[in-house]
A and B are shown apart, each in its own frame.
Chain A
Amino acid sequence: MDINIKSFLDGNTALAPSKGYPIHDVIKEHLDNRQIVYLDFKDMELMTTAFLNAVIGKLYSEFTSDYLNTYVKIKYISQSDAVLLKKVIDTAKLYFKDPEAFDYHMKKTFKDE
């Protein structure tokens, strides 16, 4: 199943997380049915980490890394957006590996200073 990011938007720009939730929901629906999703970033010019977190970061609360590598394929993403996506994924993995430990670490880091 091809999911074209731009087709969910009014243009080539995606800033707010609210624009990402419907895309996330469609991806999740297909993944729940073990269908491979081709996530197509063609013609996207600007995406924030907030948007990417809503689309993809959230998936780590629902699926494992292995499952996502098997069932989600990335298409036509620019190199700069790929770097951004990787940052979002790395943060999400850390966050969902153990959200309580992540929270505890983040809070402790500063409260102890």
Chain B
Amino acid sequence: MVFESSLTISVPKAIRCDENGFDFFSRLAGDTITIANKNIIFDFGNCNWFDGNLCAVLGNILDGLKQRNNTLHFKGITENILNVFVRNKFYKNFISNTTPLLDSRTIPYERFKLFDEQLAKDIIKRELFDKPGMPKMSDDAQKAILLNIFEVCVNAITHGECEYVYCCGQFFPDQSSPEVSISFVDLGRTIKANVNEYLKANMTGNKTILWALGEGNTTKRGNEPGGLGLKLLQNLINYNKGSLQIVSADGFIELSNSKFKERHMTDYFPGTIVTIKLLLNDSNFYVISKEVDTDNIF
């Protein structure tokens, strides 16, 4: 195999769940989408912070590069970032096939096809709730979180028309308010493309995400209703007092304190990133509010 040339990508100083972080991934995905048969060097020399959950985004982009027969190299990774990458299995997947350190602070980097639903559920359940030292959540709270995670994954596969959903998470148990951040990523059709096509409209990325978050709103066609998954997720976030970020195309919407905030993206992400931040200090936050009579439910 002949490699035509090398390409060096400089990773910015800090990769966080904010406009700068998502713009970096947007540029990276966009600029490399047609690149094949190259040596690609990721230079982390200037980078001193990388949010662990965002390994899901980087991993999704790197998988595409590998499929296009590029060879990936990494240099200048600081010890702190290297620790994050080793602990969440990102290192094992992309840098070196070493045994990851056992660590209770990560939800390891995974990609799901949802072909084996039972396995997907068992992995996420174990990684989220069976960590030593983590607050024990009520069964209803656990179930609500799992349900919403998979509503997001099913949405991505159905609407993004992608093969895999990528996932990675990071626990922060030592903060005054312990929390977990989990990101789900698909490189596929964006929410903006789906919604604008369905509505025959030309709305901004932010407006299309806000439309998709409305109860009952779905771009599915035919004799099957939908549009509940993202509404349920909002309810969960509001009960938990956590936060939700959705990035898709040039849209970036954040939900916290029961309010939506429209953020501004400079670049265009060719897929969707959903990041959920859940607080762990209220382990019984989810209470079923009503009884349903199933005798006459229809």
Contact = CB atoms under 8 A, between A and B. Distances in A.
Given A91-B225, A106-B216, A16 B117 contact: yes
B223 interface: yes
Contacts of A84: 147, 232
A13 interface: yes
Interface residues of A, number: 52
Given A10-B118, A12-B118, A111-B199, A49 B226 contact: yes
Interface in A67-98: 68-69, 72, 74, 77, 79-80, 82-89, 91-92, 94-96
A13 B118 contact: yes
- Count class of interface residues, chain B: 35 or more
A7 B106 CA distance: 34
B217 A49 contact: no
Interface of B: 114, 116-118, 120-121, 140, 143-144, 146-147, 150-151, 153-155, 157-158, 198-199, 201, 203, 207, 210-211, 214-217, 223-229, 232, 288, 290-292, 294, 296-298
A109 B118 CA distance: 38
Contacts of A23: none
Contacts of B154: 15-17, 48, 50-51
A11 interface: yes
Given A10-B118, A50-B229, A69 B298 contact: yes
A77 B294 contact: yes
Contact of B120 (A15, A45, A49, A57): A15
Top-9 shortest CB links A-B? A11-B118, A68-B298, A61-B223, A95-B225, A49-B228, A82-B292, A74-B294, A13-B121, A69-B298
A102 B214 CA distance: 13
Please report whether the interface of chain A is mostly helix, strand, loop or mixed according to DSSP: helix
A49 to B, nearest CB: 4
A100 interface: no
Nearest to B199: A107
A79 B203 contact: no
B288 A113 contact: no
Interface of A: 9-17, 19, 45-51, 53-54, 57-58, 60-62, 65, 68-69, 72, 74, 77, 79-80, 82-89, 91-92, 94-96, 102, 106-107, 109-111, 113
Contacts of A85: 292, 294, 297
A86 B140 CA distance: 17
Contacts of A65: 298
23 contacts: A9-B117, A10-B117, A46-B121, A46-B146, A53-B225, A53-B228, A57-B224, A58-B223, A61-B224, A62-B223, A79-B292, A80-B143, A83-B292, A85-B292, A91-B215, A91-B227, A94-B225, A95-B216, A102-B216, A110-B201, A111-B201, A111-B203, A113-B207
Give the one of B147, B226, B290, B298 with max A CB within 10 A: B298
Contacts of B143: 45-46, 80
B3 to A, nearest CB: 39
Nearest to B201: A111
A13 B158 CA distance: 18
Contact of B224 (A10, A53, A79): A53
